[in-house]
């Protein structure tokens, strides 16, 4: 070997030695030399593993670009703290060749740090260190909030572990120490900055996950009652209905409303009302089963989801709840009383929104029935006739109070019930038509009673022009249903407090066709009413809709309904104006005679208007 070769070999030896002594070399974290000491125990007490346990690191190169890429992947690709820790542990034991990692979380209630240690083959060990143990370096690190390096892991009191150097790092997020991270690594002094970076990221991730969980709980929890709020209740009900569909089981919903709560709030203050609602919520929580879910459905209503529960079983639970509440006396109020409605999946409905509507409708009927023997009337939606006056009124109350965006689905069921009803007499038909018209008018408080009034005016005008009695009755019934097509018009258009846009007006103009084809055409007993429903918005000069009929092309019955409909609209209050007086309304009719309305019918109606005027 010549002198040049000897010098070259000496430089290579010095370079290797420098890598061993300086782990933060130019090309990355330290190379590690293999160690011959091994442990091959399979003692179950020590997690049941049987493996070769290195005491020093193997020759692996790792640059900081790998570290940054990994941490970025860990931060953006993990959604739980456990997944994030698993990724960190895998990185440090496989790539940096650490002996073990551990997380110790501070428990303020017991003033201790709960530690979970995981070795490089997945064996785990749990222990607890109390803050009163000042001599323990884990407590020292937590209190000082500064990293500590120990030359061995004896303080962990795990005899099966080898004794590498150990880094104990505080988990600090937003100036709060959440616990400690413990890492076994013989090159801990050289890697301490990296481990501090990792521990800080872990603390931040853990803190954010905790905040996210609390935010989710807050978003789905009612602050007054600590029950699920409306949103949380709906989410859980959706999950339970999905499970019930798959398992072919039943789900019952109980809806409860505190009686006279508005009067209590008004006379005794909202604090007293809140006290009662909290009391009801507490009693519900105490008396429902572990797999049941209670939520504050509305301001005064509390609803309960009962999985795998029949209607009869739900009634039994509701009876027990109402009895428990009746035994609670509130100062200045007396016993707490509630109205209770029940709906069952799939017996009453399979659609979630419909199920809740039926439960609420049953609750309103319970409210109207009052008490029997001092106990609340518990009503199931399967207990009443849909077309009963009380049932229909309760449906209208639900529609107007809460379900402004029911959409057409539930109303289609209303029509289905109507069209499938066996009509046994003319009186029965008139009662059904009155009920349907009332349900439609209930969608808009500003047109309440409109259909009944138009029917009254149309009947009066038909008599004034001496039509036969059977035709008068037909016109009266047709006028009652003239707006039945509005059942298919979105409520945001029906209730808009200002004038409709061009697009909204085009939607509104569909209601005569919807009424004729969707409702009346399906019912043999009502088909002769179609001309009045479909053509009552046609104009005498041919500018109306939907067919632009002109003059006497428009059926006489439809022309009569058109005059009656316009007159009642003129004298009624609207969101954008007050109702007009009789004289002003008649003046407008007179101005449109021969243009929008049949001139002869307008002349006759003006003659009788003062005698039939109403404040409805």
* Helix 556-571 / helix 469-480 crossing angle, nearest 10 deg: 50
- Are 392 and 417 members of one domain? no
Tell whether the model's pLDDT for residue 448 goes beyond 90. no
- pLDDT grade for 193, boundaries at 50, 70 and 90: confident
Residue 327 is part of a domain; what is its CATH number?
Answer: 3.30.70.270
- Using alpha carbons, select from 477, 485, 483 the residue that is nearest to residue 430: 477
- pLDDT grade for 525, boundaries at 50, 70 and 90: confident
- Are 396 and 409 members of one domain? no
Question: What pLDDT is attached to residue 231?
Answer: 84
- Are 379 and 421 members of one domain? no
- Are 254 and 369 members of one domain? yes
299 vs 305: CA distance, rounded Å: 18
- Choose from 189-203, 498-512, 586-600 the range with maximum mean pLDDT: 586-600
- Are 356 and 425 members of one domain? no
208 vs 522: CA distance, rounded Å: 59
- pLDDT grade for 462, boundaries at 50, 70 and 90: very high
- pLDDT grade for 258, boundaries at 50, 70 and 90: confident
Question: What pLDDT is attached to residue 163?
Answer: 82
38 vs 308: CA distance, rounded Å: 57
Residue 206 is part of a domain; what is its CATH number?
Answer: 3.30.450.40
Window from 273-282, 463-472, 551-560 with minimum mean pLDDT? 273-282
Question: What pLDDT is attached to residue 169?
Answer: 95
Q: What tens digit of pLDDT does each residue of 296-309 get? A: 987 788 999 999 99
- Are 454 and 573 members of one domain? yes
Structure tokens at 447: 């047109």
Percent of the chain, pLDDT > 90?
A: 33
Window from 291-295, 335-339, 537-541 with minimum mean pLDDT? 335-339
In a domain, 17, yes or no: no
User: What average pLDDT does this structure show over 44-59?
Assistant: 40
pLDDT averaged over the chain? 79
Q: Which of 218, 239, 258 is a domain's end point?
A: 218
Tell whether the model's pLDDT for residue 212 goes beyond 80. no
- pLDDT grade for 406, boundaries at 50, 70 and 90: very low
30 vs 60: CA distance, rounded Å: 8
Tell whether the model's pLDDT for residue 616 goes beyond 50. no
In a domain, 224, yes or no: no
In a domain, 13, yes or no: no
Question: What pLDDT is attached to residue 13?
Answer: 41
Decide the pairing of beta strands 166-173 and 148-150.
antiparallel
Question: What pLDDT is attached to residue 383?
Answer: 79
Q: Which of 403, 436, 464 is a domain's end point?
A: 403
Cis peptide before 36 (omega within 30 of 0): no
Q: Which of 403, 425, 453 is a domain's end point?
A: 403
339 vs 368: CA distance, rounded Å: 9
370 vs 438: CA distance, rounded Å: 24
446 vs 494: CA distance, rounded Å: 10
Query: Residue 498: CB partners within 8 Å, gap ≥ 6?
Result: 575, 576
- pLDDT grade for 424, boundaries at 50, 70 and 90: low
Contact of 295 with 402, CB cutoff 8 Å = no
In a domain, 14, yes or no: no
Q: What tens digit of pLDDT does each residue of 306-343 get? A: 999 999 999 999 999 988 888 888 888 888 889 899 99
Question: What pLDDT is attached to residue 10?
Answer: 47
Question: What pLDDT is attached to residue 250?
Answer: 96
What is the tally of structural domains in the chain? 3
In a domain, 284, yes or no: yes
Tell whether the model's pLDDT for residue 62 goes beyond 80. no
- Are 390 and 410 members of one domain? no
Window from 45-59, 77-91, 214-228, 585-599 with minimum mean pLDDT? 45-59
Report DSSP state, residue 303: E
Tell whether the model's pLDDT for residue 227 goes beyond 80. yes
- Using alpha carbons, select from 112, 99, 98 the residue that is nearest to residue 158: 99
Structure tokens at 610: 């003062």
- pLDDT grade for 401, boundaries at 50, 70 and 90: low
- Are 142 and 179 members of one domain? yes
Tell whether the model's pLDDT for residue 403 goes beyond 60. no
HSE toward the beta carbon, residue 89, CA cutoff 13 A: 21
164 vs 421: CA distance, rounded Å: 85
In a domain, 354, yes or no: yes
In a domain, 487, yes or no: yes
Question: What pLDDT is attached to residue 208?
Answer: 82
- pLDDT grade for 443, boundaries at 50, 70 and 90: low
Contact of 126 with 115, CB cutoff 8 Å = yes
In a domain, 10, yes or no: no
Query: Residue 102: CB partners within 8 Å, gap ≥ 6?
Result: 115, 116, 117, 118, 156, 181, 182, 183
Alpha helices in 131-229 (DSSP H): 137-144, 188-219
Window from 71-85, 176-190, 470-484 with minimum mean pLDDT? 71-85
- Are 113 and 256 members of one domain? no
- pLDDT grade for 24, boundaries at 50, 70 and 90: very low
Cis peptide before 169 (omega within 30 of 0): no
Residue 582 is part of a domain; what is its CATH number?
Answer: 1.10.3210.10
- Are 348 and 413 members of one domain? no
Question: What pLDDT is attached to residue 416?
Answer: 66
HSE toward the beta carbon, residue 531, CA cutoff 13 A: 13
User: What average pLDDT does this structure show over 512-530?
Assistant: 85
Tell whether the model's pLDDT for residue 27 goes beyond 70. no
Window from 130-134, 291-295, 397-401 with minimum mean pLDDT? 397-401
User: What average pLDDT does this structure show over 160-186?
Assistant: 89
Tell whether the model's pLDDT for residue 44 goes beyond 70. no
- Are 130 and 176 members of one domain? yes
Structure tokens at 568: 């009642």
Structure tokens at 419: 């069209």
- Using alpha carbons, select from 486, 342, 329 the residue that is nearest to residue 411: 486
User: What average pLDDT does this structure show over 397-413?
Assistant: 52
Angle at 215 between CA 212 and CA 217, to 5 degrees: 110
For residue 613, give its domain range. Answer: 405-616
321 vs 252: CA distance, rounded Å: 15
229 vs 172: CA distance, rounded Å: 34
- Are 505 and 385 members of one domain? no
């Amino acid at each position: 070997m010549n002198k040049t070769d000897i010098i070259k070999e000496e430089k290579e030896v010095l370079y290797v030695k420098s890598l061993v002594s300086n782990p933060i070399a130019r090309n990355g974290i330290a190379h590690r030399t293999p160690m011959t000491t091994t442990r091959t125990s399979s003692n179950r007490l020590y997690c049941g593993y049987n493996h070769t346990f290195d005491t020093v690191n193997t020759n692996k190169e790792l640059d900081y670009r790998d570290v940054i890429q990994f941490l970025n992947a860990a931060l953006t690709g993990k959604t739980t703290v456990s997944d994030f820790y698993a990724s960190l542990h895998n990185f440090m034991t496989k790539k940096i060749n650490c002996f073990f990692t551990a997380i110790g979380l501070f428990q303020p209630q017991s003033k201790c740090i709960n530690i979970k240690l995981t070795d490089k083959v997945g064996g785990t060990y749990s222990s607890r260190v109390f803050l009163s143990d000042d001599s323990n370096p884990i407590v020292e690190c937590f209190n000082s909030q500064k990293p500590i390096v120990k030359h061995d892991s004896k303080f962990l009191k795990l005899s099966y572990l080898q004794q590498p150097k150990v880094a104990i790092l505080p988990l600090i997020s937003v100036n709060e120490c959440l616990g400690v991270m413990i890492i076994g690594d013989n090159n801990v002094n050289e890697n301490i900055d990296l481990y501090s970076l990792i521990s800080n990221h872990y603390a931040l991730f853990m803190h954010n996950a905790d905040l996210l969980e609390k935010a989710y709980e807050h978003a789905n929890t009612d602050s007054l009652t600590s029950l699920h709020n409306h949103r949380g209740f709906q989410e859980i009900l959706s999950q339970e209905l999905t499970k019930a569909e798959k398992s072919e089981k039943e789900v019952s919903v109980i809806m409860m409303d505190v009686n006279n709560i508005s009067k209590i709030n008004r006379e005794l203050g909202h604090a007293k009302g809140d006290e009662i609602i909290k009391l009801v919520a507490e009693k519900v929580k105490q008396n429902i089963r572990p797999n049941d879910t209670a939520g504050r459905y509305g301001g005064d209503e509390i609803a309960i989801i009962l999985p795998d529960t029949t209607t009869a079983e739900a009634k039994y639970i509701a009876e027990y709840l109402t009895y428990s509440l009746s035994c609670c006396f509130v100062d200045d109020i007396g016993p707490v009383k509630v109205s209770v409605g029940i709906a069952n999946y799939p017996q009453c409905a399979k659609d979630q929104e419909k199920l809740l509507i039926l439960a609420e409708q049953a609750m309103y009927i319970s409210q109207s029935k009052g008490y029997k023997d001092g106990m609340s009337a518990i009503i199931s939606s399967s207990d009443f006739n849909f077309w009963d006056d009380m049932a229909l009124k309760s449906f209208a109350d639900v529609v107007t109070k809460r379900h402004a965006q029911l959409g057409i689905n539930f109303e289609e069921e209303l029509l289905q019930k109507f069209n499938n009803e066996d009509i046994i007499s003319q009186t029965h038909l008139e009662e059904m038509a009155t009920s349907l018209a009332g349900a439609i008018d209930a969608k808009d408080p500003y047109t309440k009673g409109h259909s009944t009034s138009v029917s009254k005016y149309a009947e009066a005008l038909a008599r004034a022009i001496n039509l036969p009695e059977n035709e008068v009755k037909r016109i009266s019934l047709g006028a009652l249903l003239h707006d039945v097509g509005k059942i298919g018009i979105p409520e945001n258009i029906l209730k808009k407090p200002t004038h409709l846009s061009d697009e909204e007006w085009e939607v509104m103009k569909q209601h005569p066709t919807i009424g004729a084809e969707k409702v009346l055409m399906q019912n043999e007993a009502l088909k002769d009413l179609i001309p009045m429903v479909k053509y009552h918005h046609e104009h005498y000069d041919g500018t109306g809709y939907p067919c632009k009929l002109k003059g006497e092309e428009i059926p006489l019955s439809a022309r009569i309904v058109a005059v009656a409909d316009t007159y009642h609209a003129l004298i009624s209050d609207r969101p954008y104006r007050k109702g007009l007086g009789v004289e002003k309304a008649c003046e407008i009719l007179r101005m449109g005679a021969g243009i929008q309305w049949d001139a002869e019918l307008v002349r006759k109606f003006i003659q009788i208007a003062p005698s039939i005027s109403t404040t409805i």
